[in-house]
Structure 1
């Protein structure tokens, strides 16, 4: 898996038809919505006796309202029925809606198009839960990040292309018929692709569908709150949509007022921001090592705030007239473009692991309803974003760059709250940064570690970085058994407690800590966790694997679980090892060193004696210390 690109999924039937379906749907939604808004603004000049500005905001409300009204029912349907069938029915409805829309566009029936915009929102609300709920059934766990990255990339590219296409088609001599043909054709393409989506069994076939929008929406919230980490991840995703909506809404006035740009500047800003999100989404799989890596999420949130603040300082105080080419070529304007690109990139890094985490941690029987709750929160946060923009820019009189600065500071506060509530984010962040900056780690056969159930890892002990290297490489959370003196250090002690490490000491000196350690190890294994021990009991002083102590046998006598032998290569000689003297006593001689972590075949407890495990670890390590 680690040698394959996520893009290979685009050549496989279990993913490609679904990708085409969701891409065509997002493209069509945005083409139709933006074309209708442009037609109302430039052709109709308003409807129902209202001004164009009011009608445009009314249209935006009509599109988002169905997410509040129908997400709960959509989640029930996606959990209750076979998912590929649900998608085909949704796409068939899209064909009917867009067929009617084509007629309305052709003849200029704008009042009818308003109703159809609402129905388009209904169709999108029903597609959202099944869209994300089907991915864990179609993909392997190690493909989930890559699959979500492609979906997010496709969604934002489709939004961009749909928006730009609407603008281009408006330049046609008779735009209505041209747009009519396009929306009808895209709907048919989506349906054809949906027919090819493989079957995905119903997760809760006995579920009773209840058509009570308000009551069922409230129940969705309760289901989403069942898992605290998942619920906060949902809020974090919705916070990103809050930020994204705030930026996108302000682009036209930002370009006009603060960059003195023409309409092409709005287009280039939108393109840069969207391309950034797509690029960040795609980068997630490589940065995460093909696993759901929460450590990337804080990186994303820090980048969002840093470049948002940088955008405030780089906005010209005395702008000159500009077009899209000047945004790219002029040094000062180019810095604005770089900031927006970076905000998009870090936004992609922020949301993709969160989407994958929500999908993985939610029980299959309620997954679609949890995704539906996510859609409700997304819609709610986007509405609040619009209201905040009106208050900040209108009532308080902030400039748009000042508003961006406020958003960046708010993002730091929200991120701090989420990471305080869910320490795993901060823990994985520290592990990811240390294990990806000090060393270049190559993994070998880590798929041999079982995906579920209790397992004991045993490894040679070379340096004080061993646990961080292993924690950064293994997909599952690992409970490390470590010396109680190191566990009690003033600064690192808090980090080790956060990581749920297990302190241990010599039985002769600290019998209470010794006994408590074996109790904790047994409890963690009984709970189905991964526990890692270093059976040598201390760091090697000569680079060789020392004798394994019998503690591993005592653990397995109490709790017979599979044992995976592991070996580290390349850490001997590092600043954190005892090579050339005690660790930390000599200057670092190398950085970005290449090291290797190897896993052997799992052994049953009955065959995992200390002597056998020592032999296995030595064989894995080979001649290179």
Structure 2
């Protein structure tokens, strides 16, 4: 990929994530590291859909092609577009890891201009074979761009910006899809000049995208020494094995692919739903698409607000619940609608019972946005940078397979006599089953959901100094112990999973004990009481640090009985000594939970807890103050206790 004629050979200096992130996701649109990239991907998604929709309308309504009947046109065009994702995703992932991502983006946009030039001739000449070839080539264009899109963002955005950045891109993609389809339908229908107008529109969007791409700063290669394997089949298998190496990431890939399965079922059935169930014309089908796209966009943007600007995978179960609830309710909302004449959008909206259908559809898609954005951000954050693009490529392969599967299954259900609402009911129930299975396989999602609910709906939880929690590498979190839910609140504060060293007696508490076992918390007992459990706990703690993870300990050794900070015991020194013996210098991060004493989960009445649930009302204010990390070599129990005491007063 050498520089094109007229393009400067020198590349801009790479732009690293800033030390201080932007105040919100919309502010990223003023940043050079994000704005040109956003508009580049926006123009590409719009062009894809302008081209595809205009072509579909042309062969369905305007031309008579004996070998491509109108009923098959949409299926053929969709299949040709998705085929490159199966064939070339593995290769595109390798290219993205090997080369500068900005060079890859510009190469892809140059390719788009060439494809659209061919497509323009195809539209003007009514040459259907050429347009089918361009459909395949635009699928190839999207296949090449996909890994670049998701591998670029974690290279230029920090952890606190990643959810917002993904939300903006997800929102932008669906808005671009919607605008592209609307523009394609309007342009191709212009009397006498429709095909020429589509040709001009496609080339104009391609040129605009290439122009904006010129301003994207350099994003250096993450694995420049990679040797490309050009065999798509062996490389596809290798990518899937590579993704499988990280269990959380691989199962998140499956979760995203399931979301595409779920969404494809609804999107593919909008025309049939509008015509056969809602008794609406093409305007109603378009209205359903608009509502769905707006819902996805709103849900994607809400992720940053609801996650407090962290990668909050606790939103994923919330999204899954909403998807199922409103998919099932959509079945009941569309069941038994009275027969009516074919109506347009205005007549459809004039009938009150149709508003429930639109509300279900809007909320279903909103929750799908809440479901997908944190998963994408998690994959970006947890994948190794050297092969992040290949992981994304593996995801694209799985997405394509799941979407093909959705078409097959939906077709089989309809062929077996299911109505469209019954297909939606089946999909909603299947979503609940699949989501439950995924959350049991990867309990981190469920744990973070519990932590998210508790920190927002039981308490009003405010975190200060969370930038001191390391985003990578091993560290020991040392916190005061006030209540039975301290560990849950620490989970809510950290974007990374935490392994807790906890008093073995807390595992006997109903519900909480199950929750902590699910979190793989490490039970510890006094050495005199149970020497085997004591030694096993410290060996497991050492293993957590060896693996580069976060370990949390409550150095007081138990929950305070009077609300005061108790003396710190020597267990933390034993952990540090074992880590140092392994050559690990894990910093210690002091933390203090504030205003929890006196709440439902703390001990205040004769040493008991969890009595009188509303003794402090709902949404009581609690907090976590996080101090600067202390080098392991400087840690001693009493000075560390002093740091925590200072944080309690902050």
Name the TM-score, length of structure 1 as normaliser.
Answer: 0.95
Distance 1:12 1:506, change over 3 A: same
Judged with a 3 Å threshold, the aligned counterparts in structure 2 of structure 1 residues 129 and 408 are, in CA distance, closer, same or farther, namely same
Instruction: Tell me how far 1:235 sits from its aligned partner.
Output: 1.6
Deviation at 1:325, TM superposition (A): 3.6
Aligned partner of 1:568 among 583, 593, 600: 593
Alignment of 1:317 onto 2:336: yes
Alignment partner of 1:583 is 2:609:
yes
2:444 matched to 1:424?
A: yes
Say yes or no: does 1:241 pair with 2:267: no
Q: How does 1:363-382 map to 2 (within 5 A)?
A: 363-382=384-403
Q: Which residue of 1 aligns with 2:639?
A: 612
C-alpha change, 1:3 and 1:465, in structure 2 (3 Å) is farther
Give the Cα–Cα distance (whole angstroms) in 1 for the partners of residues 454 and 541 of structure 2: 26
TM-fit CA distance, 1:566: 0.9
- The answer to whether residue 245 in structure 2 is matched with residue 226 in structure 1 is yes
Q: What SS does structure 2 have at the residue aligned with 1:152? A: helix
Q: Which residue of 1 aligns with 2:53?
A: 34
Residue 176 of structure 2 corresponds to residue 149 of structure 1: no
Contact kept in structure 2, 1:242 and 1:382, CA below 8 Å:
yes
Whether the 8 Å contact between 1:71 and 1:373 is mirrored in structure 2 is yes
In 1, Cα distance between equivalents of 2:476 and 2:236 = 43
In the alignment, does 2:159 pair up with 1:159? no
Matches for 1:385-534 after TM superposition, within 5 Å: 385-394=406-415, 396-489=416-509, 491-534=511-554
Deviation digits for residues 548-573 of structure 1 (CA, Å, limit 9, x no counterpart): 22333333333353111111112122
In structure 2, the residue matched to 1:58 is 76
2:126 match: 108
Mapped partners of 1:604, 1:329: distance in 2:
67
Matched, 1:11 2:30: yes
Retained in 2: the 8 A contact 1:230–1:362? yes
Which deviates further from its counterpart, 191-200 or 546-555?
A: 546-555
Q: Is the 8 A contact 1:316 1:332 kept in 2?
A: no
Kindly tell me: are residues 346 and 451 of structure 1, through their superposed partners in 2, closer, same or farther at Cα, counting changes over 3 Å? same
Query: Do the aligned residues in 2 keep the contact of 1:2 with 1:290 (CA within 8 Å)?
Result: no
Tell me whether 1:342 sits opposite 2:369 in the alignment: no
Count of aligned residue pairs for this structure pair: 621
Q: Bigger shift: 121-130 or 212-221? A: 212-221
Matched, 1:204 2:223: yes
Contact 2:277–2:334 at 8 Å: present in 1 too? yes
Query: What is the SS of the residue equivalent to 1:481?
Result: strand
RMSD: 1.9
Deviation at 1:599, TM superposition (A): 0.7
**CA-to-aligned-CA distance 1:413-467 (integer Å, 9 cap, x gap):** 2112222222222222222222222111111111112222222222222211211
Distance apart, 1:374 and its partner CA: 1.3
Asked if the contact 1:259/1:316 (under 8 Å) is kept, the reply is: no
Contact 1:573–1:580 (8 Å) recurs in 2:
no
SS, match of residue 478 in structure 2:
strand
Do the aligned partners of 2:21 and 2:161 also contact (CA within 8 Å) in 1?
Answer: no
1:248 deviation in Å? 0.7
Correspondence 1:558 to 2:585: no
Matched, 1:280 2:306: no
Q: Which residue does 1:182 correspond to in 2?
A: 201
- Contiguous gaps of at least 5 residues in structure 1: none
- 1:79-94 pair list within 5 angstroms: 79-94=97-112
Q: Decide whether aligned partners of structure 1 residues 550 and 222 sit closer, same or farther in structure 2, where only a CA change above 3 A counts.
A: closer
How far did 1:72 drift? 1.8
Structure 1 residue 369, shift from structure 2 partner: 1.6
Please say if residues 22 and 28 of structure 2, whose CA atoms lie closer than 8 Å, have aligned partners that are also in contact.
no
Q: Which 10-residue stretch deviates more, 306-315 or 70-79?
A: 70-79
Per-residue CA shift, 1:14-50, capped at 9, x if unaligned? 11111100000000000000001101111113x2533
Shift of 1:312: 0.4
Output the CA distance in 2 between the equivalents of 1:119 and 1:370: 23
Measure how far apart 1:352 and its partner are.
0.9
- Which stretch of structure 1 is more off in the superposition, 573-582 or 383-392? 573-582
Does the residue aligned with 1:89 lie in a helix, a strand or coil? helix
| CA gap 1:118/1:520 in 2 versus in 1, 3 angstroms | closer
Runs of 4+ in 1 over 4 A off after TM superposition: 326-329
Mean Cα displacement is larger for which, 500-509 or 235-244?
A: 500-509
CA contact (8 A) 1:575 1:587 kept: yes
SS of equivalent to 2:183: helix
Which of 599, 612, 619 aligns to 2:626? It is: 599
Query: Among 132, 156, 176, which residue is 1:138 paired with?
Result: 156
1:168 and 2:186 aligned:
yes
